[in-house]
């Protein structure tokens, strides 16, 4: 038995061939939600949800119910089940109750798990013959596995452990965990397989293996079972009444017995799979991966065990989400510290470009790359592997025209903008951020990173019977990837923030030569109390000349709970996120400061009370969004905001005091609000 795990390759951009595009288009047309047939290891009965009249039934009904399907059409469901289970059926269909599938029913001497789901005006009832009592042991093993898996803190270790646990629990020959890359192609990131089976770990597969409509279905229904890929499906029979619902119109998306796409069945046959059981891994409404258990012979698993495994899969997805969030926060804090050092070197240095490229902390310390360029005031300075000045001007002019003043990031100019690649043939990846006046920018360049991608089967036409056929063989097939740099990952956001920092330095340089480091809060990068008081005095002087000046004093409600329950690292991450939200919401000329543990102040010049109130409401909404994030779901994070204007204040400190008092009024009034 093999059970290793491979670290995923993130952000591999791949060329999509014409044949692959054709497969994606063709697969999207297949009516997988309305196949007009079911798998034959159970029977499907479709009833009118209001009357319980049978409007459609699988043609294998006689095998399970002892009555021909044609004799049951148009009859009341009680003719199949008796009247006793009807109240339980109604409870399951009533979303307001806590009743859950399955409902155990007896038809003659046979016991069934009846699984009910709504589908428009109808109710789908899957009847699956009850399996043996070993299911209770499997359920206990699943919950024990959940406790063991909860201790893993990296995606790689969690993937590997989850594959081992699922292989032990299910007894399936092979368990694979897939990760989906940004371009929708997949990678096998964990695997446990029986001896003698070809290994698939680390292999990639094209997006058309799981087309878009199938992914949408996997978001709607988080589990899927195929009991026997060689079994002929059972067709659905419908009423002959022309006003009755057509069998092809019945949406079987939620049906357990929904039949399988012929393309997928051929795919399974070519892989030697007789049965499979799959689970979706979902984060924030996005399908991030799949778990697939495959067996070489037909195999059924009870509904109760399948749903318990669905809970386990959901835990794995949530855990992966938390791991990613914590990793991102740690990385953000690390990058914030580097960026603070970079910006600190700019304050009193007359040559910003030279400092960015060759100071104690540089652009390349913040974002690793093979070369970098700064263009300020029309003067270009570069270091490392960067295009010549003429090539840069042509490249950046073209990119600015395409992104309209926004940041630009590409791992492959050759793939994303093939017409621009000849301008800088030695460069594969570009990250560019506009800065200041029109035409100025900062940019990072990366050269080609040659590597190979191992595919789950030869992707060429010779490995398919037709263009639309599944691959005949799934033996590992290697392909060299050229014209691609290392991925930029989340560096685009950090580059954008550095661009804003440079703009602020340029903006404030004309007003003051104060040491910027002494006036910055080290955690958030915002102005500290000293800087705030300076800006208040400046703003109040403007008020005496007739300008409107308002101050927003913000206090976070619930930060202590975050620190106490989730730790100070998470609390710091909340403060950083709120600081980012305040900066993105305020104008460039406004002063955003952090003056205490959970206290922030915004000084707004040329701003009326009414305009300040609008800004306050926007901030409150943004902070509520932060409170809704999964990592903070156990605590309530809101804000209380006090608003004051200079018209009633004696000076800057008095204006700050009035805003502070207004904040406490908001807090006493119930929090999560503003007050004047």
Residue 9 pLDDT > 50 = no
Question: How far, CA to CA in Å, does 149 sit from each of 165, 168, 170, 214, 313?
Answer: 9, 14, 16, 28, 11
529 and 667 together in one domain: yes
441 and 541 together in one domain: no
pLDDT band at 6 (very low <50, low <70, confident <90, very high): very low
pLDDT tens digits along 364-423: 999 999 999 999 888 899 999 998 888 888 888 888 777 776 788 899 988 888 888 888
Residue 86 counted as domain residue = yes
Residue 292 pLDDT > 50 = yes
Picking from 129, 147, 171, the residue at the C-terminal end of a domain is: 129
What is the pLDDT averaged over residues 321-337?
91
DSSP 119: E
B/e letters for 165-190, b = 16+ CB within 10 Å, e = fewer, are: bbbebbebbbbbbbbbbeebbbbbbb
Tokens 């685009």 correspond to 492
As a dihedral over the C-alpha atoms of residue 541, residue 544, residue 545, residue 547, rounded to 10 degrees, the angle is: 90
Please count the other Cβ atoms lying within 10 Å of the Cβ belonging to residue 561. 15
Percent of the chain with pLDDT over 90: 51
Dihedral (CA of 423, 425, 430, 436) sign: negative
Residue 338 counted as domain residue = no
Catalytic residue status for 598:
yes
Which residues, in sequence order, are CB contacts of 438 under 8 Å at separation 6+?
none
pLDDT band at 515 (very low <50, low <70, confident <90, very high): low
DSSP 479: E
- Partners of 279 in beta bridges: 223, 291
Residue 676 pLDDT > 80 = yes
Token pair for 60: 């294998």
Residue 636 counted as domain residue = yes
What is the pLDDT averaged over residues 434-442?
83
pLDDT score at 476: 65
Please count the other Cβ atoms lying within 10 Å of the Cβ belonging to residue 138. 17
Residue 3 counted as domain residue = no
Burial of residue 143 (number of CB atoms within 10 Å: 0-12, 13-18, 19+):
exposed
pLDDT band at 1 (very low <50, low <70, confident <90, very high): very low
Residue 93 counted as domain residue = yes
558 and 630 together in one domain: yes
434 and 533 together in one domain: no
Domain range holding 561? 520-675
489 and 544 together in one domain: no
| 503 compared with 515, residue with greater pLDDT | 503
Q: In angstroms, rounded to a whole number, what is the distance separating the alpha carbons of residues 659 and 663?
A: 6
pLDDT score at 45: 98
The CATH number of whichever domain residue 534 belongs to comes to 3.30.70.270
pLDDT band at 439 (very low <50, low <70, confident <90, very high): confident
The CATH number of whichever domain residue 355 belongs to comes to 3.30.450.270
444 and 578 together in one domain: no
Picking from 79, 96, 129, the residue at the C-terminal end of a domain is: 129
Question: How far, CA to CA in Å, does 358 sit from each of 374, 385, 545?
Answer: 11, 15, 43
531 and 488 together in one domain: no
Q: In angstroms, rounded to a whole number, what is the distance separating the alpha carbons of residues 122 and 245?
A: 9
Q: Of residues 590, 598, 645, 672, which has the active-site annotation? A: 598
619 and 533 together in one domain: yes
What value does the mean pLDDT of the chain take? Answer: 86
pLDDT score at 513: 47
| 503 compared with 602, residue with greater pLDDT | 602
pLDDT score at 616: 94
pLDDT tens digits along 156-197: 999 999 999 999 999 999 999 999 988 888 899 999 999 989
Look at 25-29, 212-216, 409-413 and tell me which has the smallest mean pLDDT: 25-29
Count of structural domains within the chain: 3
Residue 44 counted as domain residue = yes
569 and 488 together in one domain: no
Nearest partner of 218 among 209, 227, 206, judged by Cα: 209
Q: In angstroms, rounded to a whole number, what is the distance separating the alpha carbons of residues 631 and 401?
A: 39
Nearest partner of 357 among 442, 461, 453, 299, judged by Cα: 442
Q: Is the pTM of this model over 0.85?
A: no
Please count the other Cβ atoms lying within 10 Å of the Cβ belonging to residue 456. 24
524 and 671 together in one domain: yes
Token pair for 666: 């908001």
667 and 525 together in one domain: yes
Which residues, in sequence order, are CB contacts of 16 under 8 Å at separation 6+?
24, 207
Q: How many CA atoms lie within 13 A of 410 on its CB side?
A: 23
pLDDT tens digits along 220-260: 999 999 999 999 999 999 986 655 556 667 899 999 999 99
pLDDT score at 154: 95
Q: In angstroms, rounded to a whole number, what is the distance separating the alpha carbons of residues 342 and 95?
A: 56
pLDDT score at 473: 58
Residue 475 pLDDT > 70 = no
As a dihedral over the C-alpha atoms of residue 89, residue 92, residue 97, residue 100, rounded to 10 degrees, the angle is: 130
Tokens 């087309």 correspond to 211
Residue 143 counted as domain residue = no
45 and 121 together in one domain: yes
| 10 compared with 449, residue with greater pLDDT | 449
Residue 339 pLDDT > 80 = yes
DSSP 9: -
Residue 250 counted as domain residue = no
The CATH number of whichever domain residue 68 belongs to comes to 3.30.450.20
pLDDT score at 72: 96
pLDDT tens digits along 124-140: 999 999 987 656 788 88
Which residues, in sequence order, are CB contacts of 154 under 8 Å at separation 6+?
323
Picking from 129, 163, 198, the residue at the C-terminal end of a domain is: 129
Residue 89 pLDDT > 60 = yes
């Amino acid at each position: 038995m093999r059970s290793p795990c491979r670290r995923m390759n993130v952000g591999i951009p791949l060329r999509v061939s014409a044949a692959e595009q054709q497969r994606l288009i063709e697969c999207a047309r297949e009516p997988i939600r309305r196949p007009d047939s079911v798998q034959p290891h159970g029977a499907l009965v479709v009833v009118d949800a209001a009357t319980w009249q049978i409007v459609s039934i699988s043609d294998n009904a006689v095998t399970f119910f002892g009555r021909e399907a044609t004799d049951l059409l148009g009859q009341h469901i009680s003719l199949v089940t008796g009247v006793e289970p009807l109240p339980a059926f109604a409870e399951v269909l009533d979303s307001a109750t806590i009743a859950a599938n399955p409902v155990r029913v007896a038809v003659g001497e046979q016991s069934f798990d009846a699984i009910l789901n709504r589908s428009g005006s109808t109710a789908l009832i899957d009847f699956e013959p009850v399996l043996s009592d070993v299911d209770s042991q499997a359920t206990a093993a699943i919950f024990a596995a959940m406790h063991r898996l909860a201790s893993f803190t990296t995606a790689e270790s969690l993937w590997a452990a989850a594959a081992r646990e699922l292989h032990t629990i299910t007894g399936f020959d092979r368990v694979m965990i897939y990760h989906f890359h940004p371009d929708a192609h997949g990678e096998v990131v964990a695997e446990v397989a029986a001896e003698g089976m070809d290994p698939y770990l680390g292999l990639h597969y094209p997006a058309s293996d799981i087309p878009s409509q199938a992914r949408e279905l996997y978001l709607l229904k988080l589990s899927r079972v195929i009991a026997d890929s060689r079994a002929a499906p059972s067709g659905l029979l419908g009423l002959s009444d022309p006003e009755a619902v057509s069998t092809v119109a019945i949406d079987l998306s939620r049906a357990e017995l929904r039949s399988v796409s012929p393309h997928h069945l051929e795919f399974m046959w070519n892989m030697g799979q007789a049965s499979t059981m799959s689970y979706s891994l979902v984060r924030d409404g996005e399908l991030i991966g799949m778990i697939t258990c495959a067996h070489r012979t037909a195999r059924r698993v009870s509904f109760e065990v399948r749903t318990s495994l669905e809970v386990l899969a959901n835990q794995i997805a949530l855990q992966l989400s938390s791991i990613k969030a914590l990793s991102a926060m740690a990385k953000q804090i690390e990058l914030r510290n580097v960026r603070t050092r970079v910006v600190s070197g700019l304050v009193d240095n007359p040559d910003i470009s030279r400092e960015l490229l060759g100071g104690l902390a540089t652009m390349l310390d913040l974002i690793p790359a093979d070369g970098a360029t700064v263009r300020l005031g029309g003067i270009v300075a570069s270091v490392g592997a960067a295009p010549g000045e003429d090539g840069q001007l042509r490249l950046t002019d073209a990119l600015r025209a395409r992104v309209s003043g926004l940041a630009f990031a590409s791992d492959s100019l050759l793939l994303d903008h093939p017409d621009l690649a000849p301008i800088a043939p030695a460069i594969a990846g570009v990250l560019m951020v506009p800065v200041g006046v029109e035409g100025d920018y900062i940019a990072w360049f990366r050269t080609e990173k040659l590597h190979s991608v191992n595919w789950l089967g030869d992707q060429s036409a010779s490995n398919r019977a037709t263009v639309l056929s599944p691959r005949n063989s799934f033996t590992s097939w290697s392909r060299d990837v050229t014209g691609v740099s290392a991925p930029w990952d989340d560096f685009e956001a950090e580059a954008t923030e550095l661009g804003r920092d440079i703009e602020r330095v340029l903006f404030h340089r004309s007003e003051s030569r104060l040491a910027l480091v002494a006036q910055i809060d080290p955690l958030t990068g915002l102005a500290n109390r000293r800087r705030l008081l300076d800006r208040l005095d400046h703003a109040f002087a403007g008020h005496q000349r007739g300008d409107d000046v308002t101050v927003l004093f913000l206090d976070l409600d619930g930060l202590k709970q975050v620190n106490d329950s989730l730790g100070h690292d998470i609390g710091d991450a909340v403060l950083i996120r709120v600081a980012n939200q305040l900066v993105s919401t305020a104008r460039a000329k406004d002063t955003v400061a952090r003056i205490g543990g959970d206290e922030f102040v915004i000084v707004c010049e040329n701003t009326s009370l009414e305009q300040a109130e609008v800004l306050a409401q926007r901030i409150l909404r943004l902070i509520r969004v932060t409170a809704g994030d999964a990592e903070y779901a156990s605590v309530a994070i809101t804000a209380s905001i006090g608003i004051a204007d200079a018209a009633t204040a004696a000076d800057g400190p008095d204006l700050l005091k009035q805003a502070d008092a207004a904040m406490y009024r908001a807090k006493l009034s119930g929090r999560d609000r503003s007050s004047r």
